[in-house]
Amino acid sequence: MILGLETSCDETAAALITADGEILANVVSSQAELHARYGGVVPEVASRRHLELVTPVIREALVEAKTELDDVELVGVTTGPGLIGALLVGVAAAKAIAWARRLPLASVDHLHGHVASLYLEPHPLEPPFLCLLASGGHTLLLDVQERGRAPRTLGTTIDDAAGEAFDKGARLLGLGYPGGAEIDRIAQQGDPEAFDFPIAKVPGLDFSFSGVKTALLYAVRKLDPAELERQRANLAASYQRAIVRALVERTQQAAAEIGATHVAVVGGVAANSELRASLPGAALAPLALCTDNAAMIASAARYVGAIPYPGYLGLDAYASIA
């Protein structure tokens, strides 16, 4: 059995899966409410909360899986990219558990984790496939050839990530944090054609979301509070439509360019209902595995080559990919 831990941002998560990828427990404690009043994640607040939550969350996962630490054979933990202080809490906890039981430890890249959300039962996906990874921190088009090999990056965002664009847009619309799910919800009552927001034309297979965000800002500024109230659903629907179109167009373009026959979508933004409906035939990460969780980290831990006891004691966390 594999224990996965994830603390890279504002979710404290622990999961237990079998070597075959069956999820026995997947506990996610979101700190969203804690950070909501600041309109975004406050790194120092996140670290402290991870510290309080990590042990109870692991305990809850063990109870849910009806198992004990004695049955764990491998510990997988996110070592980056993410908030460094937040990551360190998970890494320290993973090291302590692995070291105390002389277990191997797998250092998992958070982005590899998102991709590995597709490798879990009951519907595991087999590479090769083109993967759109859209989250709060990243927007990537990946050419995934093998589960254990780092994918080739075909495109990325040159400014904001797609999830970041949702979150910033939500803030402009006076919606709560995190904003993606809020925009998704409110957009259901709006007209996506009400406003014409641009889709950035950047060269190659890259993305850009700063223009659409600025367009929303200008549209909001033109409205008085009562009009904004009336137009909020229309603005949300039109804004969501622009982001989803950009994601879908680039994904289809990338698939055509590399001749990919299978397309997959992962990451927090993969939870978006319009995006899910706009890519028929694509493999979509299950909703519970789109936003940050530890089952995907445990899943990736199977493919990275675990570090044997006690070689991981000097293992460090890293904030960014470069």
Which are the contacts of 143, defined by CB distance < 8 A and separation ≥ 6? 128, 130, 131, 151, 152, 153, 154, 258, 260
Question: Of residues 7, 78, 79, 135, which one binds Zn ion by CB under 5 A?
Answer: 135
Which segment (122-130, 134-142, 175-183, 255-263) binds Zn ion by CB under 5 A? 134-142
Question: Of residues 292, 298, 299, 312, which one binds Zn ion by CB under 5 A?
Answer: 292
Residues, the chain: 322
Q: Which is nearer to Zn ion, 271 or 279 (CB)?
A: 271
Nearest to 153, CA basis, from 199, 90, 204, 78? 204
Under the criterion CB under 6 A, does residue 269 sit at the interface with ligand KG4? yes
**Residue 180 contacts which entry, Zn ion, ligand KG4, none (Cβ below 5-8 A, type-dependent):** ligand KG4
Under the criterion CB under 6 A, does residue 192 sit at the interface with ligand KG4? no
Question: Of residues 268, 289, 295, 306, which one binds ligand KG4 by CB under 6 A?
Answer: 268
Phi and psi for 175 in degrees, rounded to 5? -95, 165
The answer to whether the beta carbons of residues 181 and 200 sit under 8 Å apart is no
Nearest to 26, CA basis, from 285, 306, 310? 285
How far apart are CB 117 and ligand KG4 at their closest, in Å? Answer: 9
Under the criterion CB under 6 A, does residue 135 sit at the interface with ligand KG4? yes
**Could you tell me the CA-to-CA distances from 155 to 88, 110, 204 in Å, in that order?**
29, 18, 7
Q: Which is nearer to ligand KG4, 72 or 237 (CB)?
A: 237
- Say how many Å lie between the first and final Cα of the chain, rounded: 32
Which segment (30-38, 127-135, 236-244, 272-280) binds Zn ion by CB under 5 A? 127-135
How far apart are CB 124 and ligand KG4 at their closest, in Å? Answer: 20
